[in-house]
Amino acid sequence: MMMRRPLGHTSQRVTPIGMGLAALGRPGYITLGHAADLQGDYSIAAMQAHTHAMLDFAWDAGIRYFDAARSYGRAEEFLGTWLAGHSFDADDLPVIGSKWGYAYTAGWNVEAEQHEVKDHTLPLLQRQWQESQKELGSFLNLYQIHSATLESGVLSRAEVLAELAAIKQRGTLIGLSLSGANQNEVLAVALEVTIEGLRLFDTVQATWNLLEPSCGPMLQSARERGLGVIIKEVFANGRLTTRNQEPGFAPQLARLTAIAKRHAATIDALALAAALAQPWADVTLSGAATPKQLQSNLAALQIALTPADWEELNSLAESPQTYWATRSRLAWN
């Protein structure tokens, strides 16, 4: 079993590994082998049963933090029905985070023109907050802005910030997630957002992985200031797994394979172990789409990386511009 630890300076206690539902709640996603994971069965009943089986597996493995979003298709609904079907001990409740800010527009279609549309305005916050509450009820502990950016204007939109502060005052933690080459700049601005003298954000969810570790120092400073830190995309959406057979990535894959071999581990476990080793990270999400993948990921808990490993692992980092340009080319499947 994984030991819980505090999520920043909040009253919630999370496990080092959490589970994200981006690949589970909808037929289409950008991870490399998503279509194969779902074996072509996109019926709502099959996808709900698959998600419930994943949640059971994760719970039995000791995972206690679960991450969803309004735009992950029916992820909140599937999570909500799973939560409602379980009885939890009062001293061992799951910690649930979700997000608002993108409308799901794929219509359950893998080939949709547009899978999600960003909208960081008050009407969408108000609508999605109602929808998230309907699906997750009192289980919902943390509500995050989905991919806050400077361009979306969300961090200077007074009416949105006031509404988030009101939600917080009624007992739900408030966070933001980040995406793109300027995660550091956005986090710096977010750290200064205050309402009536109090900092608004309790948590930050950001991309940190062996290919894109550039926001590590900023996340460390956010953690020192009391924010809970959640790492996402630790497998670079599948690029840090054996599924990545891109010819241009072959040298990096060979290096990862050699290091993993020294630990009798898989490269996905190695990638997760690297994130777990960051002292400022409270919870690291696995976006595994099958129990077999999650099982493989969990071996990370047994890996202790050495200085020699780190020397090699640090050389894998790409420039943020290169990393995010590659990510933006990943195909929905």
Ligand X SMILES: NC(=O)c1ccc[n+]([C@@H]2O[C@H](COP(=O)([O-])OP(=O)(O)OC[C@H]3O[C@@H](n4cnc5c(N)ncnc54)[C@H](OP(=O)(O)O)[C@@H]3O)[C@@H](O)[C@H]2O)c1
Interface residues toward ligand X, by CB under 6 A: 20-23, 31-34, 37, 67, 99, 146-147, 177, 179, 205, 232-238, 241-243, 266, 268, 285-289, 293, 296-297
CB of 90 to ligand X, least distance (A): 26
DSSP 86: -
Q: Between 36 and 308, name the residue whose CB sits nearer to ligand X.
A: 36
Q: Between 8 and 97, name the residue whose CB sits nearer to ligand X.
A: 97
Q: Between 34 and 115, name the residue whose CB sits nearer to ligand X.
A: 34
CB of 324 to ligand X, least distance (A): 12
Q: Which residues partner with 205 through β-bridges?
A: 177, 230
CB of 24 to ligand X, least distance (A): 8
Q: Between 12 and 179, name the residue whose CB sits nearer to ligand X.
A: 179
Q: Between 4 and 146, name the residue whose CB sits nearer to ligand X.
A: 146
Give the list of residues 6+ apart from residue 277 with CB closer than 8 angstroms, or none.
Answer: 305
Q: Between 31 and 141, name the residue whose CB sits nearer to ligand X.
A: 31
DSSP 36: H
Q: Interhelix angle for 250-262 vs 307-314, to 10°?
A: 170
Residue 90: how many other CB atoms lie within 10 Å = 5
CB of 217 to ligand X, least distance (A): 20
CB of 96 to ligand X, least distance (A): 12
Q: Tokens 């502060």 — which residue?
A: 165
What end-to-end distance do the CA atoms of the chain give, in Å? 34
Residue nearest to ligand X (CB): 287
3-state class (DSSP) for residue 45:
helix
Cβ atoms of 239 and 271 within 8 Å: the answer is: no
Residue type at position 206: A
Cβ atoms of 202 and 173 within 8 Å: the answer is: yes
Torsions phi, psi for 301 (to 5 deg): -65, -20
CB of 125 to ligand X, least distance (A): 15
